[in-house]
Chain A
Amino acid sequence: MEQEQLVRQLRQGDSKALQKLMALYTPYLCTVAANLAVPPLTPQDVEEIVSDAFVRLWRHRQDLDPDRSLKGYLVRITRNLVVDALRSRKAECLPLLEEILEQETPLETRLEQKEAVRRLNKHLAALSPADRELLLRFYYDNQRIAAIAGALGISPGALRVRLFRLRAQLKKNLEGEEQQ
């Protein structure tokens, strides 16, 4: 309900709603941007990207879907802006750029987002703590493979394999259930 109200306020041009969103989501978006692109991007770059994400949200506020998560939408914008920033720096960032783009995993589903989130929560709750941690680091924190592998003490190759299996399992749960 709060989100629907925020969307409505945004559509009416209420900048206080935007300020409220900034207070809520700035730390998370900074985390996402920084995890995606540090070290190439400095904290100042991250500030600029996150600020631009909010500006873009404001400019497109008439197109917001009240049924879709604002936080998720902001993450999508932030990821796109990070990609744009890396593209503008060309050669030095190409490997990182490719890695980020590879992480894009569209979920083909007709589920409403609320239902998808409910199923995701259920799925996460059923996972082992280690697997849950891995998925959250990768998809929620947007950490890079190398960073996660370093933190968890496993090789990047092994991490990729585990991620692949976890993702397949997750997608099966999210996409498969709707057909039942």
Chain B
Amino acid sequence: MNEPMELHELFAALDDVRQTDPQGADAGKIQKRTLEQLALLDGTERPAHRLPRKFFLTGLAAALAVALAACACAVSAQVWGVRLFDRQEKQQLQKPLYAVSTSASQPDEEPGERLLAGFSGEILDVDWLEENDVLFFDEVGTVCGVANGECMEFPAFVFDNGEIAILTKEDGSGWVLEENGQLTLSLRQNTEDNPQASPGGDRLALGVIVDGIPCELTCGKDAKLEYTYTAHEAGEVYFYVQNFSAGPIVIEDAAVGTS
């Protein structure tokens, strides 16, 4: 055993060597309280993961805010005149229901059971996510770009708290980079036409999915964002953005290009 053991722990591992006395504590009450606590946990528990906790917290928040977000987006579409990041425009914005649910998150389900639909099986390494008990995308969609010379330009889109937009080429594929190859993303938050936006911009995370494995690169409140990703090794790369603010964010002028 590599890990140090406490002697108390080692002694506890002995078979019951003597009578124990609960000393006034009520075993029935303990069991009842424990089961009550577990019942409360059932609705909120998520498995351990490697990615930053904020992914999951915001994901959970997003799940609760879905109804509100749908309403907000519906209104936003008319007010802002932008494409919606929701289920209605499936040509542009596919909306898979993706989750990795293990026994840890869903005690009533079979271990390893997962829900997977749409493109995400191709973009995300589901086995890796599952092996690592990562519940990555609670609310996720893709935004397809339109080629313009060397760049891929993206239509304006709105997404809400916790939601993640994966930026893809027109055919839904990513960018294949060689080792040390570079991919640059630029975008702008439209804060003028978004009544819920902070004047300087809202918190937005940017990450990459490299051969199916997501990794956050940066997170900040800058209204304008430009990031150049350098590949450590050859692979297929997608940029994604995740809304870490309390309200919707309108993304405009997003473009991805190789350097």
Closest to B24 in A: A43
User: Is B17 an interface residue, CB under 8 A from the partner?
Assistant: yes
User: Is B78 an interface residue, CB under 8 A from the partner?
Assistant: no
Task: A19-B35, A112-B1, A116-B1 given; name 5 further pairs at CB < 8 Å.
Answer: A13-B108, A26-B31, A47-B30, A72-B5, A72-B13
| Bound: A63/B132 CA distance, A | 12
Q: Interface-forming stretch among B37-45, B81-89, B147-155, B166-174?
A: B37-45
User: Is B25 an interface residue, CB under 8 A from the partner?
Assistant: yes
User: Is A111 an interface residue, CB under 8 A from the partner?
Assistant: yes
| Bound: A170/B8 CA distance, A | 13
A residues bordering B, Cβ < 8 Å?
A: 11-15, 18-19, 22-23, 26-28, 30-35, 38, 43, 46-48, 50-52, 54-55, 58-63, 67-69, 71-76, 79, 103-113, 116-117, 120-121, 135-136, 139-142, 167, 170, 174
Contact with A along B92-134 (1 / 0, CB 8 A): 0000000000111011110100000000000000000000010
| Bound: A136/B18 CA distance, A | 9
| Bound: A73/B10 CA distance, A | 9
- Contact (Cβ within 8 A) A27 B18: no
Q: Which of B20, B34, B35, B48 contacts A28 (CB 8 A)?
A: B20
Closest to B108 in A: A13
- Contact (Cβ within 8 A) B9 A72: yes
Distance in angstroms from B234 CB to nearest chain A CB is: 33
- Contact (Cβ within 8 A) A136 B11: yes
Contact with A along B22-34 (1 / 0, CB 8 A): 1111110111011
Given A13-B108, A73-B9, CB of A30 within 8 Å of CB of B34: no
- Contact (Cβ within 8 A) B14 A13: no
In the bound complex, residues from chain B placing their C-beta under 8 Å from that of A55 are 34, 37-38, 41
| Bound: A129/B37 CA distance, A | 42
Between B8, B14, B47, the greatest number of chain A beta carbons within 10 A of the residue's beta carbon is seen for B8
| Bound: A110/B4 CA distance, A | 8
Distance in angstroms from B210 CB to nearest chain A CB is: 25
- Contact (Cβ within 8 A) A62 B17: no
- Contact (Cβ within 8 A) B11 A120: yes
Given A13-B103, A46-B23, CB of A71 within 8 Å of CB of B34: no
- Contact (Cβ within 8 A) B22 A30: yes
- Contact (Cβ within 8 A) B1 A12: no
In the bound complex, residues from chain B placing their C-beta under 8 Å from that of A18 are 34, 38
| Bound: A170/B106 CA distance, A | 44
In the bound complex, residues from chain B placing their C-beta under 8 Å from that of A139 are 7-8, 10-11
In the bound complex, residues from chain B placing their C-beta under 8 Å from that of A59 are 41, 45
Given A13-B103, A62-B47, A140-B18, CB of A43 within 8 Å of CB of B25: yes
- Contact (Cβ within 8 A) B12 A26: no
In the bound complex, residues from chain A placing their C-beta under 8 Å from that of B26 are 43, 47
- Contact (Cβ within 8 A) B22 A69: no
In the bound complex, residues from chain B placing their C-beta under 8 Å from that of A19 are 31, 35
Q: Which of B1, B22, B48, B102 contacts A113 (CB 8 A)?
A: B1
In the bound complex, residues from chain B placing their C-beta under 8 Å from that of A15 are 35, 38, 107
| Bound: A108/B102 CA distance, A | 35
In the bound complex, residues from chain B placing their C-beta under 8 Å from that of A47 are 25-26, 29-30, 33
- Contact (Cβ within 8 A) B22 A26: yes
- 28 CB contacts below 8 A, A to B, read A13-B107, A13-B108, A15-B38, A26-B27, A27-B27, A30-B23, A30-B27, A31-B23, A34-B22, A34-B23, A34-B25, A43-B26, A47-B26, A47-B33, A50-B30, A52-B37, A55-B41, A61-B104, A62-B102, A67-B1, A71-B12, A72-B5, A105-B7, A107-B4, A140-B14, A141-B20, A167-B7, A170-B7
Q: Which of A50, A109, A116, A142 contacts B8 (CB 8 A)?
A: A142
Closest to B16 in A: A28
- Contact (Cβ within 8 A) A12 B22: no
| Bound: A35/B24 CA distance, A | 12
- Contact (Cβ within 8 A) B10 A11: no
